């Protein structure tokens, strides 16, 4: 089912379900080469969400700031290649939401344990803001916080379930958003964990 959440934001409910096992297998393969780690914010705080990346570029944070980097700082190696399955899913989801030719360079993989959260933020580290961001939720349900173009705008809460894909573009591209503290819960395929893939064209 396709649901317009707001101008520019399309929720494709269950879009990733047909390939749920393949996606989770690919995450495990990526994490074997580029382990999940808790990055440090520029302000020196340890993020509660653990992250890794696949693709030509990966999103990283440290005391110097946020950036896209072709090298994993933990291993000194290039990030694992983006699986063809990931790129195809992102491309097909973007097309279903009206964005043809989406070719992501970066896939950030977020892993939430119970208690992990992502505070309200904008995604503005990408050079090309005309391109959408595609996000894929797997595992335990989350409450997504969705605000406006100012940090102080009121937020809505939207449930994101296993297999949901959201395409964020146009007027929705710079909205403030976050993830509420993950509740202790269980999913048959991921145990207590939630994963989120975000696909971006960074340059």
Contacts with ligand MD3 by CB under 6 A lie at 108, 110, 118, 123, 133, 135, 166, 168, 172-173, 175, 177, 179, 196, 198
123 or 126, CB closer to Fe ion? 123
Residue 166 interacts with which of ligand MD3, Fe ion, none, CB < 5 to 8 Å by class: ligand MD3
**Tokens representing 103?**
């070719």
CA gap 14, 127 in Å, rounded: 30
User: Does residue 176 sit in helix, strand or coil?
Assistant: coil
Q: How far is the CB of 27 from ligand MD3 (least distance, A)?
A: 13
27 or 118, CB closer to Fe ion? 118
> Where does residue 109 fall: left (phi above 0), alpha (psi -120 to 50 degrees), or beta otherwise?
beta
Residue 195 interacts with which of ligand MD3, Fe ion, none, CB < 5 to 8 Å by class: none
Residue 138 interacts with which of Fe ion, ligand MD3, none, CB < 5 to 8 Å by class: none
Contact residues for Fe ion, defined by CB under 5 A: 123
For 37, 128, 142, 199, the CA distances from 166, given in Å and listed in that order, are 25, 19, 13, 11
Q: How far is the CB of 200 from Fe ion (least distance, A)?
A: 10
* Cβ contact 53:107 at 8 Å: yes
123 or 164, CB closer to Fe ion? 123
Calculated CA dihedral for residues 90, 96, 99, 104, nearest 10 degrees: 0
38 or 77, CB closer to Fe ion? 38
196 or 201, CB closer to ligand MD3? 196
Kindly report the backbone phi and psi dihedral angles of residue 28, in degrees, each rounded to the nearest multiple of 5, phi listed first.
-65, -40
* Cβ contact 128:201 at 8 Å: yes
* Cβ contact 155:118 at 8 Å: no
Q: How far is the CB of 198 from Fe ion (least distance, A)?
A: 7
Q: How far is the CB of 142 from Fe ion (least distance, A)?
A: 13
Q: How far is the CB of 103 from ligand MD3 (least distance, A)?
A: 17
């Amino acid at each position: 089912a396709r649901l317009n959440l707001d101008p520019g934001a399309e929720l494709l409910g269950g879009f990733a379900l047909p390939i749920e096992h393949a996606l989770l297998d690919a995450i495990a393969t990526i994490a074997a080469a580029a382990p999940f780690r808790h990055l440090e914010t520029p302000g020196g705080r340890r993020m509660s969400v653990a992250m890794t990346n696949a693709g030509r570029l990966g999103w990283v944070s440290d005391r110097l700031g946020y950036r896209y980097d072709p090298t994993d700082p933990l291993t000194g190696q290039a990030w694992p290649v983006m699986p063809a399955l990931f790129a195809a899913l992102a491309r097909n989801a973007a097309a279903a939401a009206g964005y043809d030719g989406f070719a992501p360079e970066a896939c950030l993989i977020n892993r939430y344990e119970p208690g992990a959260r992502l505070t309200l933020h904008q995604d503005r580290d990408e050079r090309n803001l005309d391109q959408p961001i595609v996000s894929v939720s797997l595992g335990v349900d989350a409450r997504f916080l969705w605000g406006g173009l100012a940090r102080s705008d009121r937020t809505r809460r939207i449930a994101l379930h296993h297999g949901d894909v959201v395409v964020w573009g146009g007027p929705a591209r710079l909205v403030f958003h976050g993830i509420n503290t993950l509740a202790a819960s269980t999913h048959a395929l991921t145990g207590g964990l939630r994963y989120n893939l975000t696909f971006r064209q960074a340059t």
